[in-house]
Amino acid sequence: MKACPYKKIYWNHVRNVSQHCIGCWPRLERGVAPACVRNCPGRLAFVGFLDDETGPIHRLVHEWRVALPLHPEYGTEPNVFYVPPLSPHPLRADRSVDESKPRIPPAYLESLFGARVHAALDRLRSELEAVRAGGRSELLDTLIAYEFRSLLGPFTAEPVTIRATTPAKEAR
């Protein structure tokens, strides 16, 4: 558990073993998106292939450059990317906005995502400003995920259509 650079391995106290998320591999094999993607109430998780140039994952990582790997200094070349958060500015006692310092210190975000985080945040801020000025942003539309299916990439099969199969020996 200590060796995992992402600290995502956890101890299962019921089975008395350490475990790690397998990305719902049995679902993916049958064309169904992982449970976390299908059930995320905030529409915060996308699934897809990095080499699919028309998909949102490729565009977020390579075209818009706002999705970043966690701890790039480890060189693990992960398959999971994160869009760093634009944190709201804190409020003063009189309820005015204090723009002098963000709630999430930039140094902390840099410790998670590396130096590229600043360019990603600048891009997100500029897109947000453009929309606030009356423009449109394909990047923000993608992140808002107006269409639920846009989160699923090629994994659009409905889970209710999947039938469990039992090996012949167990069926007897």
First CA to last CA distance, the chain:
40
Per-residue H/E/C for 104-154: CCHHHHHHHHCCCHHHHHHHHHHHHHHHHCCCCCHHHHHHHCCCHHHHCCC
Residue 2 pLDDT more than 80? no
Convert the pLDDT of each residue in 126-149 to its tens digit: 999 999 999 999 999 999 998 888
| Residue 150, CA distances (Å) to 33, 40, 122, 128, 145 in order | 11, 13, 25, 21, 6
Predicted TM-score (pTM) above 0.95: no
